[in-house]
Chains A and B, each alone.
Chain A
Amino acid sequence: MSYEMIGITVLWIFLYGYLIVASVDFGAGFFAYYAKVTKQDHIINQLISRYLSPVWEVTNVFFVFFFVGLVGFFPDSAYYFGQSLLIPGSIAIVLLAIRGSFYAFENYGSKKSNVFMFLYGATGLLIPASLSTAMTISEGGFIEETDNGVRLLTGELLTSPYSWSVVFLAIVSVLFISAAFLTFYASKANDQPALELMRKYTLFWGSPTIIASLTTFIAMSQHNHRHFENMLDLWWMFGLSVAFFLGALLLIYQQKRYGLAFIFVMFQFFFAFFGYGAGHLPYLLEPFITIESSVTNETMGLALVIVFIAGLLLLIPSLIMLMRMFLFDAEYVKGKK
């Protein structure tokens, strides 16, 4: 495999990792706020903060890893994405900053205020929306290159059905993934009321997720025919994705094997995400950047791959340790440690 293929695969895996862990986090913010409004917060807040407190920083690193890696493997992307994404990128940073720091302020500092809960819930939905902008513009048609540099066509972006269907898909997927995870976590903690509530949420957010996937597919066929055709060639990946989705819903409906159900949800998004990504190639940003044209020089590519493998050898055992301490340690999850 060439360096650029290794590079993009590595990055895509990290973006997928971020998609899963960040969704749990972002969705939890929304559920926590919603539960407070409907006066059910005593049921799930304990559960949410026990999981999130030790891992929120790790979630953030997945994201940093992705964008640093992208610029590292494909320096040209810094130029085009950097020039065009100044405003949406800055807004996303500000939202992430408010969310991350206020999470720590509230959890380690003082009691939860209403303003905080609202910010925490609202940013949980706005961040995925603003981050998905980068995904949308990579389809092409939203930026132009002139003699003065590259600029974003904001008007086109705001009126495009494709961009809105991506935003919608991002938000409902976040809620679905998060609900599925918290259902599993509640069952692990043997917390019946929380389990019941989260289970209902999971079943509820399942349908908009699959509808949004479909509308995004259709909008894609209008917006970028090449990418759409590529994805049709990979129809089996999307078929597997739907199959895992149905499997997950069935398990949750039947109230059994919640852990397996969440793994199914992870597979559902894995296949959809990789199917989408594979169809996107060879372009990173249509029509300006292809992966061959923008890849870093060979020496650096090799160095990055070596460091990446060394890094994984360090990270994987550490991550397993963290998960065993806080995710799969029944005593901790139940709140006894």
Chain B
Amino acid sequence: MELDSAMMSRMLTSLTLVFHIIFATVGVGIPVMISIAEFVGIKKKDPNYTLLARRWTRGFTITVAVGVVTGTAIGLQLSLLWPSFMQVAGNVIALPLFMETFAFFFEAIFLGAYLYTWDRFKNPIYHWLLSIPVIIGSTMSAFFITTVNAFMNTPQGFELEGRTLTSVDPLAAMFNPATPTKVFHVVTSSYLTSAAILAAIAAFAILKKKSSAYHKKALKLTMVATFIFAIMTAVAGDLSAKFLADEQPEKLAAAEWHFETEEKADLVVFGTLNEDNEVQNAIRLPNALSFLAHGSFDSEVTGLNEFPEDETPPLWIHYMFDLMVMLGMYALGVSFLYLLLTKIKKWNQHNKWILWLIVINGPGAMLAVEFGWIFAEVGRQPWILRGFMKVAEGATTSPNVGWMFLLFLALYIVLGIGAVSVLRKMFKHNPAELELEKRYPQVEKGGDLK
């Protein structure tokens, strides 16, 4: 591996994105959860839910702040690290990028309004209404920026003659073949991850200091949401695999170590590769890849050997794919188990074991997002614009990228430590039970309604 500018640019971009998507993911999902909790609180006239929304919102401000500044960083780094790419692609993707900033603007305005008007309105529904534009803004942001990424995977809507673009069609570029499945998968998995993290927090609180009604209600709400979003994410994931089989077969084939084109293809789970690229130690699910790719067990799946060697992605993305799928299944399984336990009267849904499984699911879901993105991004190597421009042609030639990598690494360490310690402080010294008593004196100790 040669540490030239292109390689360093890749590393710095990865660093920024790996850090940014933690905050971007919860930035898309948490407003949805806040809005649901506040609405339930208003409808049931139960201050437990209202307090839940309030406390989530308070923590959310911290993650939003880091999301905003790292988002600004990646926005500028696109031009600073990939000037040649932006010069060419800017002609085609300017529209969604521009719209993304509008969505961001919209969200920023209403988030400020939402944060500072909790007790301003006589009718609480007006305050709740302010959460709707926040959700619209954050989800639209995710939509627009994902179309840009989708475009890089399946570019269309232009013709390239040398370095000149002709016949540009901005809408065709935006609504390229990868857009629907990518957007669907990104949005549902963000919702899922946010719900899973909030559920993990509630479960952890119950584990630590026995339980109050507040935390139990929080857990139930977030676990129901986790289950619903996990199903949607699984559907989106399945559609994404079928999309890959049709439009980006080399990515799917590399993910599945599927070398020969064949019918009735097996799905390879984990395992290792030997020197001759033969799969060993793996669990093989007969015919499952055919089903995953085309929806029938005997369909033909294109193998990696069909592609020139310098146009195929590295084979380690197989592990990223497997880990992502496994963690996704885990989220679905845990939330289903919890719901099952609540339905069957004589079982206790708050026993230690299930709570720990739920706690693990929080970071697990976030890791799945990271693995999924690494799979998606490395899976289109060596291209930056698949079929048109390779990564090395898009990078800056500046010799100083290495130093900037260290600078940003230091920045993200500082931001990461800062965010975690502020969040800990925020909630440690101000337990929910106390705040509930202070704010809503009509509620009995323990959080139940009188």
Contact = CB atoms under 8 A, between A and B. Distances in A.
B339 interface: no
B397 A149 contact: yes
A304 B94 contact: yes
B112 A58 contact: yes
A307 interface: yes
A300 B90 CA distance: 10
Interface in A37-96: 53-55, 57-58, 60-61, 63-65, 67-69, 71-73, 75-76, 78-83, 85-87, 89-91, 93-94, 96
A56 B360 CA distance: 35
Interface in A287-312: 296-297, 299-300, 303-304, 307-308, 311
Interface in B418-450: 418-419, 422-423, 425-426
> Which of B81, B83, B87, B98 is packed against the most chain A CB atoms within 10 Å?
B83
Interface residues of A, number: 66
A242 to B, nearest CB: 33
A334 to B, nearest CB: 14
Contact of B62 (A72, A94, A104): A104
B397 A307 contact: no
> Which of A73, A108, A149 is packed against the most chain B CB atoms within 10 Å?
A108
B87 A79 contact: yes
Contacts of B263: none
> Which of A82, A296, A318 is packed against the most chain B CB atoms within 10 Å?
A82
A148 B88 CA distance: 18
B287 interface: no
Interface string B104-146: 1110111111011100100000000000010000000000000
Contacts of A325: 113, 116-117
A288 to B, nearest CB: 12
Contact of A318 (B80, B109, B170): B109
Interface in A82-136: 82-83, 85-87, 89-91, 93-94, 96-98, 100-105, 108-110
Contacts of B415: 97, 101
B66 A101 contact: yes
A260 interface: no
A322 interface: yes
A304 B100 CA distance: 12
Interface in A274-289: none
**Chain A binding surface, main DSSP class:** helix
B401 A78 contact: no
B396 interface: yes
> Which of A87, A101, A325 is packed against the most chain B CB atoms within 10 Å?
A101
Contact of A68 (B101, B165, B168, B426): B101
Nearest to B23: A101
A36 interface: no
Contact of A326 (B111, B112, B426): B112
A75 B88 contact: yes
Given A299-B168, A326-B116, A100 B102 contact: no
Contacts of B68: 57, 60, 100
A68 B72 CA distance: 10
Contact of A307 (B84, B95, B168): B95
B91 A75 contact: yes
13 contacts: A53-B112, A65-B101, A69-B101, A71-B97, A75-B89, A79-B83, A90-B408, A101-B66, A102-B418, A110-B426, A315-B109, A318-B109, A325-B117
Nearest 3 interchain pairs by C-beta = A75-B90, A72-B94, A104-B65
Given A300-B94, A322-B113, 19 more contacts: A67-B79, A68-B100, A71-B90, A75-B86, A90-B408, A93-B72, A97-B73, A104-B62, A104-B66, A105-B65, A108-B61, A109-B425, A110-B426, A304-B94, A307-B98, A308-B98, A311-B99, A315-B102, A337-B120
Interface of A: 53-55, 57-58, 60-61, 63-65, 67-69, 71-73, 75-76, 78-83, 85-87, 89-91, 93-94, 96-98, 100-105, 108-110, 148-149, 151, 296-297, 299-300, 303-304, 307-308, 311, 314-315, 318-319, 321-322, 325-326, 332, 337
